[in-house]
Amino acid sequence: MSDTKKMTVIATKGTLDWAYPPYILSSTAAALGYDVVIFYTFYGLQLLRKNLNLKVSPLGNPGMPMPMGMDKWFPVLGTTIPGMEAMMTAMMKNTIKSKGVASIEDLRSLCLEADVKMIGCQMTIDLFDMKREDFIDEIELGGAATYFEHAGQSDINLYM
Amino acid sequence: MSDFDQELDARGLNCPLPILRAKKALNDLNGGEVLKILSTDPGSVKDFDAFAQQTGNELLSSTEEGSEFHFLMRKNS
């Protein structure tokens, strides 16, 4: 086996906030010299779309800090109001920008530049009738056995 | 002569961008050359230390200048 360390990540979530851990850790691992493989399954496939349209929702997310102390006076039911998700997504995107945090688009590009291998779950694509052409060209498709081909010889395997 | 060969301005950028930009800048240097990095991310102090230890690039100095953090890193040969 080569000396190069290897990491795999299983990305399962398709929201703006949860898009960060896989792309931050993968880009950083690649910069540290790791070979990195990300396996995208179920909602994680959203992170591979050509046109990323990721959202964040306060619904069912009591840990999410709300601006202006809204979480203190806003009843839980308020998070179900139509338009709330769009508003929180817009606010989150502004915060991300103002704090110098990279966009998901940028982090994904950096991962691709660093030769992070991206594998989309074929079963998920079939299950949800997704189209291959909606995803970026750089990906491969595969299944559970394909994942283990990488995970079995990897130093770090993370599930997100 | 300055004590570095190239400067990277990573001010205003947050984790993990300073590390990623530094890695990219180091790729363009020859072994033994020194990269100076400017950052405002407090987390980058520990991160550049960890980056150096794991990549074999040498962190020559890590200093705090007001609200900024300055690093000198020598590319491994």
* Preferred mutation among A32, A108, A112, A156 to probe B, highest tally of B CBs within 10 A: A32
Is the per-residue pLDDT at A104 higher than 80?
A: yes
pLDDT at A126: 96
Pick from A71-75, B23-27, B55-59: least confident:
A71-75
Nearest to B20 among A100, A101, A110 (CB): A110
Q: From the CA of B60, how many Å to the nearest CA of chain A?
A: 18
Residues of B in contact with A102 (CB under 8 A): 13-14, 16-17
DSSP string, A2-62: -S--EEEEEE---STGGGHHHHHHHHHHHHTT-EEEEEE-GGGGGGGBSS-------TT-T
The structural architecture, per CATH, of the domain A6-159 is 3-Layer(aba) Sandwich (3.40)
How far is the C-alpha of A119 from the C-alpha of A39, rounded, in Å?
A: 5
pTM: 0.91
Domain covering B6-74 assigned CATH 2.40.50.100 in the classification: no
Judging contacts by C-beta atoms under 8 Å, the chain B residues touching residue A33 are 54-55
Question: Domain extents for chain B?
Answer: 6-74
Query: How do B68-74 and B34-39 pair as beta strands?
Result: antiparallel
B20 CB neighbours in chain A (<8 A) are: 27-28, 31, 110
Q: H or E element: which one contains B58?
A: strand B58-65
The B34-39 sheet, strands edge to edge? B6-10, B34-39, B68-74, B58-65
Confidence of residue B1 (pLDDT cuts 50, 70, 90): low
Q: What is the DSSP string of A122-154?
A: HHHHHHTT--GGGB-TT-EEE-HHHHHHHHTT-
pLDDT digits (tens, 9 = 90+) for A147-160: 999 999 999 999 99
Identify the residue whose tokens are 């040969």. Answer: B77
B13: tokens are: 């950028």
Q: Where are the domains of chain A?
A: 6-159
Q: What does the pLDDT look like over A50-103, one tens digit per residue?
A: 999 999 988 888 888 877 777 677 777 777 888 888 989 999 999 999 999 999
